[in-house]
């Protein structure tokens, strides 16, 4: 995959996951979403000294254009090119600028109650319906799936026996993680993308399964929230389910994660301070918490 950035008047942005085989039109669509410069009006510069890219053939592969991982593209708007907006939009009299109606990807905060993963997954797969009581049902669903396939979900995979895991995941003070996301991805037949704010990385569960739908969560080291695309100051319902061909939404998710990282809106799970809520012992990081749980059986921890 190519790691690319772009610079425009709106600032610096990370592009979504593109490959040398991606067509130019896909990159231009991503650039349009990030910078606000429509593809027909784009002028792209690359290298040093900057050279203009040939944009005449949108089907050309990025590798053929000499684009490599680590490159930064400069995006300029060529005002001499015709307005790409359709005539109906161009002629319509609007009381507000068009840009106010542009949808944005945003975090939808859910409670930090040990069940944030389950609440977040439920919210996105149900199309933006918030159900605060969904966690017990989802925990039980996961336990049933695991119990029905002890060969796939063995102790080597789960870190505990199949029976112990099923009892453990049903408890309301248990946190969900990668295993549970993977199971829910298969159950709901959709790709679940988890955007990490500490590493500015996207982990895509179900990426190779051929699913048509994609949902997104954002993760700060200990807490999950759902991501949704919404129009500010609008009564239009948010969008939480996306096509797996929509890589623009991945670029927007990375932008959110990068902004959160710059603001230090993440928890370093190896250094954060915890307290065992059973015996009140102070702990540092997830490793000490795991060791304490093994020694005592205590699994209810709170962040200090």
Q: pLDDT (tens digit, 9 = 90+) per residue, 226-285?
A: 999 888 777 778 889 998 888 888 988 988 888 887 776 444 444 556 667 677 787 776
Answer yes or no: 247 catalytic.
no
Q: What is the pTM of this model?
A: 0.58
Q: What contacts 269, CB < 8 A, 6 or more positions away?
A: 221, 222, 285, 286
297 with 244, same domain: the answer is no
On whether residue 289 sits in a domain, the answer given is yes
Strand 191-196 to 242-243 pairing: unpaired
Q: Stretch 64-82: mean pLDDT, rounded?
A: 80
On whether residue 94 sits in a domain, the answer given is no
197 with 114, same domain: the answer is yes
Answer yes or no: 220 catalytic.
no
- Tens of pLDDT along 107-141? 898 888 889 999 999 999 988 888 888 999 999 99
Domain that holds residue 10: 5-77
Average pLDDT of the chain to the nearest whole number: 81
Answer yes or no: 13 catalytic.
no
Answer yes or no: 113 catalytic.
yes
Euclidean distance between CA atoms 221 and 105, whole angstroms? 20
Catalytic residue, chosen from 85, 113, 167, 268, is 113
pLDDT at residue 80 in the model:
67
Question: At 128, which CATH number?
Answer: 3.90.70.80
For residue 180, report the phi and psi dihedrals to the nearest 5 degrees.
Answer: -70, -40
Instruction: Work out how many domains the chain is built from and give that number.
Output: 3
Catalytic residue, chosen from 6, 13, 190, 223, is 223
pLDDT at residue 32 in the model:
87
145 with 241, same domain: the answer is yes
Per-residue pLDDT band at 290 (split at 50, 70, 90): low
Residue 69's Cβ-side half-sphere holds a number of Cα atoms within 13 Å equal to 8
Contact 230, 106 (CB under 8 A): yes
On whether residue 87 sits in a domain, the answer given is no
**Residues pairing with 226 in the sheet:** 217
Euclidean distance between CA atoms 125 and 135, whole angstroms? 14
On whether residue 129 sits in a domain, the answer given is yes
pLDDT at residue 171 in the model:
92
On whether residue 88 sits in a domain, the answer given is no
pLDDT at residue 238 in the model:
85
247 with 220, same domain: the answer is yes
Contact 1, 27 (CB under 8 A): no
Q: Dihedral sign, CA of 243, 248, 252, 255?
A: positive
pLDDT at residue 303 in the model:
52
pLDDT at residue 6 in the model:
83
71 with 135, same domain: the answer is no
- Tens of pLDDT along 84-105? 444 444 333 344 444 445 788 9
């Amino acid at each position: 995959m190519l790691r690319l950035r772009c610079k425009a008047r709106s600032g610096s942005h990370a592009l979504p996951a593109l490959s040398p085989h991606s067509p130019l039109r896909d990159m231009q669509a991503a650039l349009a979403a990030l910078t606000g410069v429509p593809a027909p009006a784009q002028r792209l510069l690359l290298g040093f000294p900057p050279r203009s890219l040939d944009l005449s053939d949108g089907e050309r592969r990025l590798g053929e254009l000499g684009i490599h991982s680590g490159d930064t593209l400069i995006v300029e708007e060529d005002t001499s090119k015709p307005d790409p907006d359709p005539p109906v939009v161009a002629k319509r009299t609007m009381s507000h600028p068009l840009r106010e109606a542009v949808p944005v990807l945003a975090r939808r905060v859910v409670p930090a109650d040990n069940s944030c993963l389950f609440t977040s997954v439920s919210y996105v797969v149900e199309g933006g319906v918030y159900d605060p009581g969904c966690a017990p049902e989802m925990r039980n669903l996961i336990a049933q799936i695991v119990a029905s396939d002890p060969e796939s979900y063995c102790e080597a995979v789960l870190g505990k026996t199949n029976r112990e895991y099923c009892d453990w995941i049903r408890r309301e003070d248990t946190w969900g993680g990668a295993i549970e996301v993977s199971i829910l991805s298969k159950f709901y037949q959709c790709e679940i993308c988890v955007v990490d704010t500490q590493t500015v990385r996207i982990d895509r569960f179900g990426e190779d399964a051929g699913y048509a739908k994609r949902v997104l969560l954002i993760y700060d080291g200990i807490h999950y929230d759902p991501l949704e695309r919404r129009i500010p100051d609008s009564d239009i319902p948010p969008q939480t389910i996306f096509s797996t061909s929509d890589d623009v939404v991945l670029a927007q998710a990375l932008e959110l994660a990068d902004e959160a990282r710059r603001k230090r809106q993440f928890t370093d799970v190896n250094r954060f301070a915890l307290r065992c809520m059973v015996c009140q012992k102070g702990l540092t990081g997830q490793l000490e918490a795991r060791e304490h749980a093994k020694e005592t059986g205590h699994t209810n921890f709170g962040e200090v």
